[in-house]
Structure 1
Amino acid sequence: MTQVQSVDRTLSILEILAANSEGLRLTELSKEMDLAKSTVHRLLKTLISKGYVQQNEKNGTYQLGLQCLVLASSLLNNLDIRTVAKEALHTLAESAKEVVHLCLHDKNEVVYIDKVESNQTLRMYSQIGRRAYMHCTGVGKVLLSGFTQDEVEQMVANKGLPKFTETTITNKDELFHELTMIKEKGYAIDEQEHENGIRCIAAPIFNHDHQVVAAISIAGPTERVTKERVEGLLAEEILKQSKLISQRLGYVKK
């Protein structure tokens, strides 16, 4: 494939400046690119005129400009979570041999927006488009872990904490304790809290602003999805895939 030299050099400038957040002087850029200062300066002038590079008036260093942020924000805002997560969901379903879900939060409820079926028989509540309470599902609790305390209080006031099984969390203080534990571990477990006989592990999906924007889960019958399996291999696998999806949405761990 034929490359356009000026475009290649221009992109190299942006990549080098992206790797040097404190900025670089013209001499440093020229040396890094092994190009004459006059050539680099011409390219910088064009980038500055378009807003992709800015020059610090105090020390003369060059840094990325705000137009780069505009492009990045446009890309991130137009990413479709289902498309981004698709490969990871299938990988997770294949490795876990259980059903995998992708869920969002809407109006203090969980909405199932994608599902990869297991080749093993499983009958459970979930299907694409259905809604569920947040306090009694793994995905719901993961999404709640990204809420502020006031937002959790509002959810409880709005939806209540209805009981579905003997293990459903119905006490607000217990729910707050559970959310603290989820933040520490990085995942949530639904211990038959919504459906008897079904155990689930869920993990959060973060966006470029470090916000919890979605959740993925692995669910199955308790005889297959044992506590030991959940806290071992399944926890490792779901955290790996949730991290990959988050990174594709622009998330960078602080």
Structure 2
Amino acid sequence: MDKSTRPEAVSSVLKVFSILQALAEQKDISVSELSQRLMMSKATTYRFLQTMKTLGFVSQEDESEKYALTLKLFELGAKALEYVDLIDIADKEMQEITRLTNETVHLGALDEGAIIYLHKIDSSYNLRMHSRVGRRNPLYSTAIGKILLSGKTDEEAIEILKPVEFIRHTEKTHQNIEQLMQEVHQVRIQHYGEDNEEQEPGLRCIGAPIYDRFGNIIASVSVSFPTIRFDIERKPQYVAMLLTAGKRISEQLGYHDYPSITTQE
């Protein structure tokens, strides 16, 4: 940010939060009342309110022309708390998978047109997947991404993918939405997703879904293997391990209708 614009930007943020605080303390309030209370000009207050209204954080009563908070802030807070609970709950199951496989385990969620890593347990091997919490990776070339897309309808998934540029990381990377959606359909049937050297050469990942109490896929837990340590004969065991973890995490989040766990390929 340019230094000359920074104070103005900070001032704007302070004004937004002052308005939110005032609206939280009073159920509904007019522009005049709010501007007097915050010692801001009526025009400035109105401009901020209209922007917040457009973003869905504020509603306006047509008859009285008073403004009030919507539930959008509550929804944002609830999502943040959900992820805090999710990470705490998932940690135990992720530690167990790492104990059994000695491989890197990730917890990931949807972040617009990509996945974001919420939590990670590292392998003790020197040769392992290099990643970090907060890092984003593509939906189309990751096991987690395919799991998250499988929880959407075809229409929703395609809408999410429309602005995404399909970069060919390896020869096995999907090149377009049509190719990817064919695999997403299979993921819905088998209840697990795979990355077979699509994001990085020499790296394979398997992921399983995590559901919230309403039955929505909100995250995925995955394990990553360098191909030299991936035992194809043990793949059914890896899948069953991940599905068991996904089921336990989902149950603690309030979902008790997890897909049947199978060890069949």
Please name the residue that 2:136 is paired with.
131
Please name the residue that 1:232 is paired with.
236
Please name the residue that 2:228 is paired with.
223
Query: What amino acid does structure 2 have at the position aligned with 1:180?
Result: H
CA displacement, residues 178-229 of structure 1 (integer Å, 9 cap, x when unaligned): 0111111110110000000000100110011100000010001001123332
Please name the residue that 1:99 is paired with.
104
Q: 1:79 to 1:114 in 2, by over 3 A?
A: closer
Which whole-Å CA distance do the structure 2 matches of 1:158 and 1:124 have between them?
Answer: 27
Note the C-alpha offset of 1:79: 6.2
**Which of 151, 156, 163 matches 2:161?**
156
Which whole-Å CA distance do the structure 2 matches of 1:153 and 1:121 have between them?
Answer: 38
TM-score, structure 2 normalization: 0.64
Query: What amino acid does structure 1 have at the position aligned with 2:242?
Result: I
CA displacement, residues 123-165 of structure 1 (integer Å, 9 cap, x when unaligned): 4342111001101001111111111212221222111322110
Given that residues 129 and 224 in structure 2 are in contact (C-alpha distance below 8 angstroms), is that contact kept between their aligned partners in structure 1? no
Query: What amino acid does structure 2 have at the position aligned with 1:210?
Result: G
Which whole-Å CA distance do the structure 1 matches of 2:136 and 2:83 have between them?
Answer: 24
RMSD: 2.0
Please name the residue that 1:249 is paired with.
253
Note the C-alpha offset of 1:77: 5.3
Paired positions, count? 180
Unaligned runs of 5+ in 2: 1-77, 259-265
**Which of 75, 84, 87 matches 1:82?**
87
Given that residues 79 and 249 in structure 1 are in contact (C-alpha distance below 8 angstroms), is that contact kept between their aligned partners in structure 2? no
Which whole-Å CA distance do the structure 2 matches of 1:227 and 1:162 have between them?
Answer: 27
Q: 1:156 to 1:95 in 2, by over 3 A?
A: same
Q: 1:78 to 1:152 in 2, by over 3 A?
A: closer
